[in-house]
Amino acid sequence: MATTDPLDLLPDGVVLAGADRRVSAVSAVAARMLGRDAASLVGLELAEVLGLRDPDGRDWYACCRPYDGLGSRTGVPERSVLLPDGEEVLVTARLHRAARGAPVEEVAVVLRSGRGRARLDRDRSDLVATVAHELRSPLTGVKGFVQALLNRWDKLGDEQKKLMLHTVSSDADRLSRLITELLDVARIDTGRLQLHVRPCQAEVLVTRVVESVHAGTATPVELHVGDDLPAVLADPDKLTQVVTNLVENAVRHGAGTVRVGLTAADGDAPGVVLVVDDEGDGIAPVLRPQVFTKFWKGGAGGGSGLGLYLVHGLTRAHGGSVTIGDAPGGGARLVVRWPAYDEDAAG
């Protein structure tokens, strides 16, 4: 029975070279990247095998000189180079010495596909584009109204000034909220989200959100609150953020009445269940796994594409869950289950 080289089990390409600067082993992934047979590369000088150049035409081996330099070197930082077929790969190396200051005895070179970094670059570009787009609209409003107030202060009536200042305040709130969302996205991604939890009455927070959203839209928003709701354990600002994103998302993508329901959870897990229904086109089952990813946008309703990602992240951080289904009216139904405050466990 043929045995598999352990290097061939690694997802990245690996090239090993000894103290004589000649290649001693090449994984199948590395050979495929280099466009050569692995056996034909063994015994060649590392400089020849890794004669790869970066986008500026500089040779990796000549630039990094893995066998030379300070005796304290233990590795070569990651660099981007191009394969013979033009594909980008990220190359890094580990230098093994018998002791600090001793000559390099072995060099382990890792070749990783650059597609992951390309995806990361695209995500960063999407983030920049999203932020720029979302900031432009309220900033334009703020600048326009402030300029009008400065230029025409004596000609404007008190009611006109008041309306303009209210609009400026609203746009400033929108900017502040977007910045908060971006910070929370970064904290969720890095595991640094901080929660200041305490017992909360979910019906109070949900009612405030529904009344606030209803006051700013022509879309009907109905609220039903059940009886005997338990207190929930939550950071009230984050729970408000979750509810706001859900209701505003339903208003944005719905075509009729938005219905919000808050009831006590059934079963062994005490808590509350928040249901938000719209009368839009709904979300196809095949698309539902993508809804809670960053920058997902459904339909033509606009938005930053971060709202449902935050809903999912903030809810899970509190020990709850969020699911997607079909609303009775044919639109989308989002259901959030939020755990109750356990007084015995807290005490």
- Grouped pLDDT means (10 residues each) for the chain, 347 residues: 71 90 91 88 90 84 88 86 82 90 91 71 68 78 88 90 88 83 83 90 95 88 93 94 92 87 88 93 85 71 73 93 90 93 64
Does residue 270 form part of some domain? yes
Nearest CA among 324, 322, 319 for reference residue 340: 319
Does residue 43 form part of some domain? yes
Six token digits for residue 121 = 């670059």
- CATH number, domain containing residue 185: 1.10.287.130
298 Cβ contact partners less than 8 Å away, ≥ 6 residues apart: 253, 283, 287, 291
Q: Measure the CA–CA gap between 147 and 141, rounded to whole angstroms.
A: 10
Nearest CA among 225, 208, 233 for reference residue 338: 233
Six token digits for residue 75 = 């590795």
The DSSP bridge pattern shows strands 258-264 and 221-225 to be: parallel
Classify residue 245 as exposed, middle or buried by CB count within 10 Å of its CB (0-12, 13-18, 19+): buried
- Is the domain of 185 the same as that of 209? no
CA torsion sign for 171, 308, 243, 234 is: negative
Q: Measure the CA–CA gap between 199 and 103, rounded to whole angstroms.
A: 63
Instruction: Report the DSSP beta bridge partners of residue 81.
Output: 89
Sheet bearing 332-339, strands edge to edge: 221-225, 258-264, 271-277, 332-339, 321-326
- CATH number, domain containing residue 242: 3.30.565.10
> How many domains does the chain divide into?
3
User: Would you say 328 and 277 are in contact if contact means Cβ atoms under 8 Å apart?
Assistant: yes
**SS in 3 state form for 73-140?**
CCEEEEEEEECCCCCEEEEEEEEEECCCCCCEEEEEEEEEECHHHHHHHHHHHHHHHHHHHHHHHHHH
Does residue 37 form part of some domain? yes
- Is the domain of 153 the same as that of 227? no
Which contiguous run of DSSP H or E holds residue 190? helix 158-190
Q: Measure the CA–CA gap between 84 and 279, rounded to whole angstroms.
A: 54
User: Would you say 308 and 324 are in contact if contact means Cβ atoms under 8 Å apart?
Assistant: no
pLDDT for res 1: 44
- Is the domain of 183 the same as that of 219? no
pLDDT for res 208: 95
CA distances from 291 to 55, 114, 306 (A): 37, 27, 10
Q: Where among 190, 219, 248 does a domain terminate?
A: 190
- Is the domain of 108 the same as that of 123? no
Does residue 292 form part of some domain? yes
- Is the domain of 107 the same as that of 151? no
- Is the domain of 20 the same as that of 72? yes
- Is the domain of 93 the same as that of 184? no
User: Would you say 269 and 235 are in contact if contact means Cβ atoms under 8 Å apart?
Assistant: no
Does residue 98 form part of some domain? yes
- Is the domain of 156 the same as that of 174? yes
Does residue 224 form part of some domain? yes
- Is the domain of 206 the same as that of 335? yes
- Is the domain of 259 the same as that of 338? yes
pTM, full prediction: 0.61
Q: Measure the CA–CA gap between 54 and 89, rounded to whole angstroms.
A: 9
- Is the domain of 173 the same as that of 212? no
Domain that holds residue 162: 118-190
Q: Where among 113, 144, 171 does a domain terminate?
A: 113
Does residue 4 form part of some domain? no
Does residue 16 form part of some domain? yes
Q: Where among 172, 190, 208 does a domain terminate?
A: 190
- Is the domain of 217 the same as that of 237? yes
Q: Measure the CA–CA gap between 330 and 282, rounded to whole angstroms.
A: 6
